[in-house]
């Protein structure tokens, strides 16, 4: 097998990322040298690569599905929103600018060349490249600057599968409308559709699928069933809904549950850090946005933020800041990660991200932070007592003063993180994915919260859970997608002479 394919979607969160991951895993299991590619991503969930850059977390998961280490090759352009109007622009893993929609036009020619070069290099090095679109290809107002959808498909002559989420409702209209609104040259590359997250009897859907084919002259190559087990490594903030549970926790091993309140910051980044906690039997994790939700929680997690100072102000405005201070005074455990860790300190000096200068923190840790450039990007390892740990760092904030006991020791002996009574934190993302550390951390949180009946599971492996989800995705793709047709598209491209579809043709 030799070639490439683009998986686009009717909407954000339609299932592009998981379909790409499933295809990558299935092809890798069949011995195909396959790689993922997302020309441009917009997400604050990111990881540090072996080559010292930063890419979207979904592309890291897709690389893992292929049996590859994450690389900036798989996501050469990343936009990290810091507000509703401005995003940090990351090119080949490094932050190069902060842009709005208008001044992003200045970069489009250079970015188009970056994307073309990286895709061409991947296609030379791998048998198959499975590309993922961004948002929807039907955003015709953005077509001129499009790097990831039909702009990429046209430039590289890629066949396109369009995925629709039937769980949202209106999927047949979404699929038809996505095709019909495109210009004829773009439509020529839309080869087929996939329906995602279907519940019930597929037979009831068949008349609609036949009509869709009659209207568009394109087949539906598969109807993927809804699988509630799939929840790890959500692509973007759509997966972090206030008051929603994280994952599907198994029953507790002991007589009591341990409840975790994860604060859903407006500019949350790397929200996936809490997923490792939700893998543990008897641990119930929920996203929260107002102070009353903290009252009954055994543990509160303050995650990372792309706009640390702005989100700290939100904590104060909502009353959550006061609830955190009160909680710490009563001995309730709090754990901060990256930006959340910085908020727990005494002072943040920020002339880089917000330009606000000196801003008081929550004062729960003896910690002073100063923002600086360039951004810290590193994969790290060390110990927590006798426990080996690893993770990665992505932040502008530097510690300029700390009087608390360190949470960890890096391999070079330097301290990392802080611990003061029930309050602790670290700049390291991925720390909770370290199984032995997570177990010890949960045992300590249960003791501090008086949950004597909570018993940590001795055998939970976060890596195994993630691999199990990738294998489940591959199984679903193998069972419910016409892989012979997919292979034909990868090898030969979109069929020539596909008719143009218009609203009037309905």
As a whole number of angstroms, the distance between CA 358 and CA 351 comes to 8
Q: What pairs with residue 268 in β-bridges?
A: 305
Helical ranges in 355-461 per DSSP H: 435-449
Would you give the distance in Å from CA 94 to the centre of its chain? Answer: 18
CA 256 vs CA 244, 392, 414, 439, 452: distances in Å: 21, 33, 37, 16, 8
Neighbours of 340 (CB within 10 A): 29
Backbone angles phi, psi at 475, to 5 degrees: -65, -45
Asked if 131 and 5 count as a contact pair (C-beta separation under 8 A), the reply is yes
Q: Find the helix or strand (DSSP H, E) in which 483 lies.
A: helix 483-492
Other residues' Cβ atoms within 10 Å of the Cβ of residue 1:
14
| Pairwise CA distance, residues 395 & 340, whole Å | 11
Cα 214 from Cα 141, distance rounded (Å): 28
Q: What is the DSSP string of 460-476?
A: --HHHHHHHHHHHHHHH
Question: In terms of Cα–Cα distance, which of 306, 293, 319, 235 is closest to 265?
Answer: 306
**Residues designated as active site:** 338, 429
């Amino acid at each position: 097998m030799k070639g490439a394919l683009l998986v686009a979607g009717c909407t954000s969160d339609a299932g592009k990322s998981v379909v790409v991951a499933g295809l990558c895993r299935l092809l890798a299991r069949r011995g195909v040298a396959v790689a993922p590619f997302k020309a441009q991503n917009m997400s604050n969930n990111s990881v540090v690569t072996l080559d010292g850059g930063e890419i979207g977390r979904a592309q890291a998961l897709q690389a893992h599905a292929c049996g590859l280490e994450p690389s900036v090759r798989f996501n050469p352009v990343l936009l990290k929103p810091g507000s509703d109007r401005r995003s940090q622009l990351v090119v080949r893993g490094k932050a190069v600018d902060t842009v709005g929609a208008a001044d992003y036009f200045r970069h489009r020619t250079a970015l188009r060349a970056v994307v073309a070069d990286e895709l061409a290099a991947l296609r030379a090095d791998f048998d198959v490249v499975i590309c993922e679109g961004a948002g929807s290809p039907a955003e015709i107002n953005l077509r001129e600057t499009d790097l990831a959808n039909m702009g990429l498909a046209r430039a590289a002559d890629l066949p396109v599968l369009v995925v629709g989420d039937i769980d949202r409702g209106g999927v047949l209209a979404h699929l038809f409308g996505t095709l019909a609104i495109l210009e004829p040259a773009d439509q020529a590359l839309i080869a087929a559709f996939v329906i995602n997250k279907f519940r019930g009897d597929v037979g009831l859907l068949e008349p609609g699928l036949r009509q869709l084919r009659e209207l568009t002259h394109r087949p539906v190559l598969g109807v993927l069933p809804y699988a509630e087990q799939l929840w790890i490594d959500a692509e973007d903030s759509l997966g972090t809904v206030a008051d929603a549970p994280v994952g599907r926790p198994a029953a507790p091993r002991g007589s009591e549950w341990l409840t975790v309140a994860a604060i859903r910051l407006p500019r949350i980044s790397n929200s996936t850090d809490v997923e490792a906690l939700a893998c543990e039997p008897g641990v119930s994790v929920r996203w929260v946005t107002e102070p009353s939700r903290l009252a009954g929680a055994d543990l509160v997690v303050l995650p990372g933020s792309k706009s640390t100072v702005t989100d700290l102000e939100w904590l104060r405005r909502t009353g959550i800041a006061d609830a955190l201070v009160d909680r710490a005074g009563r001995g309730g455990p709090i754990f901060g990660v990256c930006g959340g860790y910085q908020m727990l300190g005494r002072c943040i000096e920020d002339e880089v991200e917000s330009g606000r200068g000196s801003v008081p923190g929550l004062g729960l840790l003896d910690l002073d932070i100063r923002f600086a450039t360039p951004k810290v990007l590193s994969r790290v390892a060390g110990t927590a007592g006798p426990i080996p740990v690893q993770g990665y760092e992505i932040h502008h904030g530097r510690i300029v003063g700390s009087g608390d006991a360190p949470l960890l020791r890096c391999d070079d002996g330097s301290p990392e993180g802080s611990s003061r009574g029930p309050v602790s934190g670290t700049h390291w993302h991925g720390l909770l994915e370290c199984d032995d550390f997570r177990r010890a951390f949960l045992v300590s949180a249960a003791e501090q919260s008086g949950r004597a009946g909570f018993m940590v599971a001795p055998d939970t492996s976060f890596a195994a859970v993630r691999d199990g989800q990738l294998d489940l995705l591959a199984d679903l793709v193998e069972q419910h997608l016409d892989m012979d047709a997919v292979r034909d598209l990868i090898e030969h491209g979109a069929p020539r002479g596909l008719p143009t579809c218009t609203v009037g043709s309905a």
